[in-house]
Amino acid sequence: MACIEARGLRKHYGATVALDGVDLKVEEGRILGLIGPNGAGKTTALKAMLGLTAYDGQLRVLGRDPWIERHRLMHEVCFIADVAVLPRWMRVWQALDYVAGVHPRFDRAKAEGFLARTTIKHGSRIRELSKGMVTQLHLALVMAIDAKLLVLDEPTLGLDILFRKQFYDSLLNDYFDHSRTILVTTHQVEEIEHVLTDLMFIDRGRIVLGCSMEDFESRYTEVTVLPQQLAAARAFRPIYEREVLGRTILLFDGVDRGQLATLGDARTPGIADLFVAVMNLQPGRTQGAAP
């Protein structure tokens, strides 16, 4: 069953096209990474899915029209955009009280269990917590809600590497159970590679790549070759190449890895490397687009 399904999804802000006929389908129990450069349409897509902006085209989230049925949909959806949304004057116990009062699916005992693993004190005000601790609090509140869909928009932005790793480890070990669906956008793509089941690239309002991580690993190959092997490698028509310390790294789509391994060091590329390659294949793009 599809958790999210869009057909011809469009959104304009005056003359600016934010979403340009997006088609996508996210099955239940998947973790999708939606990756794109700034201004690609990621946040607009999330706002449409959460019923925060009107749109043209067809969109269903958990079987509902998010613009018309947002109130009912929010009983089954959680959203983390940035930890700054938590009121800084509030104490930790007040945040627990508030979520318990407004969300019928909040399990306070579960939230207390998550917080017990941290150094966060119930009497502390949110303004007294570090950004990493605020993220832990936010995640504890969200993970204690029995939601079918969790939407994360740059959830670890500004956190140090330790807290980022803890965030995704907690997400996998304490929240995801293969019945929930998670949609995450981030610029720190290397840190979510081990988390994702599916990958989608968006550029200038259009989906330019969509695949499962299984397809990603079997379809794409990156090869590092010495100068004397470069001509032979180029004969296999790489989609992208770059120079590193006197060697050329080429990226291939759909070429047998065994054949490529005879030319150099063959491996599965990182998501960031594939992203740069795909972005540079888009008309009008300059070299070196970054996620």
pLDDT at residue 262, rounded to an integer: 94
111 band by pLDDT with thresholds 50, 70 and 90: very high
pLDDT at residue 38, rounded to an integer: 86
- Per-residue model confidence as pLDDT tens digits over 196-233: 999 999 999 999 999 999 999 999 999 999 889 999 99
- Yes or no: say if 267 and 198 are a contact pair by the CB < 8 Å rule: no
Residue 14 in this model has a pLDDT that exceeds 60? yes
Residue 286 in this model has a pLDDT that exceeds 70? no
- Per-residue model confidence as pLDDT tens digits over 247-279: 899 999 999 999 999 999 999 999 999 999 999
91 DSSP β-pair partners = 125
pLDDT at residue 83, rounded to an integer: 53
- Per-residue model confidence as pLDDT tens digits over 63-72: 999 999 998 9
Residue 82 in this model has a pLDDT that exceeds 80? no
Average pLDDT over residues 13-37: 93
Q: What does pTM read for this prediction?
A: 0.87
pLDDT at residue 181, rounded to an integer: 93
Q: Distances in Å between the alpha carbon of 246 and those of 160, 218, 249? A: 33, 28, 10
For β-strands 220-225 and 247-253, DSSP reports them as antiparallel
Phi-psi group of 8: left, alpha or beta (phi > 0 → left; psi -120 to 50 → alpha; rest → beta):
left
Portion of the chain with pLDDT greater than 90, in percent:
60
Q: How far apart are the first and last CA of the chain?
A: 30
Give the chain's mean pLDDT.
89
160 band by pLDDT with thresholds 50, 70 and 90: confident
Distance, CA of 200 to CA of 124 (rounded, Å): 40
